Amino acid sequence: MKTIYALLAFLLISPFVKAQTTVNPLESTPYIEVTGDGEMEVIPDEIYLQFTLQERYEGRSKSDLNKLESELKKKLSAAGFDIKNLSLADASSDYVTIKRKQKDVLASKDYQMKIATTDELARLWDILDNVKAENAFISRVDHSQMEELKKEVKIMAVKNAKEKADYLLGALDEQTGKILFLQERESYVQPYVRKTMATMTMMDESADTAPMKEPEIGFQKIKLNYKVFARFAIQ
């Protein structure tokens, strides 16, 4: 009977002992650790311009917000813009009222317009000036294929890590083995907008004033940067 108990105890304990003595390949295999980098710069093709239409007094008459919006849409359509790209800046926003002299109320709405190029931005700027829009500014820029671009840069980073391991081990007459560990380290830099204010060139006192120059509008490229930490076995 004691022999049977001893055999059962051995059978129960042996898997546990075996698990404790199993060698961790990440610790026992010779390896090299490297950091891979991937970087890409792209020109934004989604530019979001935010602005406000507000009722105002012209003499004794008050402009109507609905008419202002209708006028804006007509001018946008005439200039070739897609009205679908015009939306409220806040999906839940409604009329914002501003008291004037404690008796009159002026209504306003905040809008957002998506465009694709700086040329479109210049034309849109003229339209907004024509309808006397207020508080116009570029809220953000982006790229329509951003997710695919991110994937490309990640692949670049992984390949760069493998290349580093190859040439470092090659200097020691060793070869890169299989990947043992891979960790993504992401970094995304949002671009900022650069806009040079329009300037007026003054001629001498006897000459007429020169026309105002068009504003120069430029966008810093969107910079995608990814890093990966990799551990490769040494063959």
- Do 25-42+145-234 and 46-142 have matching folds? no
Return the pLDDT at 107: 85
SS3 4: helix
Structure tokens at 158: 């992984």
Q: What is the rounded CA–CA span in Å between residue 126 and residue 227?
A: 43
- Does the domain formed by 46-142 have CATH 3.30.70.120? yes
Provide the pLDDT for residue 197.
33
The predicted pLDDT at position 146 comes to 93
The answer to whether the CB of 215 falls within 8 A of the CB of 129 is no
* pLDDT at res. 89: 86
Q: Which residues lie across from 113 on neighbouring strands?
A: 49, 86
Q: Whole-number mean pLDDT of the chain?
A: 78
Q: What is the pLDDT of residue 27?
A: 63
State residue 6's pLDDT score.
Answer: 52
**Which candidate, 56, 60, 57, 48, places its Cα nearest to that of 108?**
56
pLDDT at 158: 96
**0.75 surpassed by pTM:** no
pLDDT value at residue 104:
60
Distance CA 153, CA 143 (A): 14
For the domain spanning 25-42+145-234, the CATH number is 3.30.110.170
- The Cα-based distances of 188 to 5, 40, 138, 176, 182 in angstroms read 63, 11, 20, 30, 19
Distance CA 133, CA 125 (A): 9
Residue 69 confidence (pLDDT)? 94
* pLDDT tens per residue, range 204-216: 333 444 443 444 4
DSSP strands (E only) in the chain: 31-42, 46-54, 57-58, 61-62, 86-88, 96-100, 104-115, 134-142, 176-189, 193-196, 216-219, 222-234
Tokens of 123: 């034309």
pLDDT of residue 39: 93
CA distance 79 to 130: 13
pLDDT at 218: 61
pLDDT score of 198: 31
Parts of the chain with a pLDDT under 70: 1-27, 91-105, 186-218
pLDDT of residue 63: 82
Q: What is the pLDDT of residue 214?
A: 45
Residues in the chain: 235
pLDDT at residue number 190: 54
Give residue limits of the domains in the chain. Answer: 25-42+145-234, 46-142
Contacts of 123 (CB under 8 A, 6+ apart): 79, 81
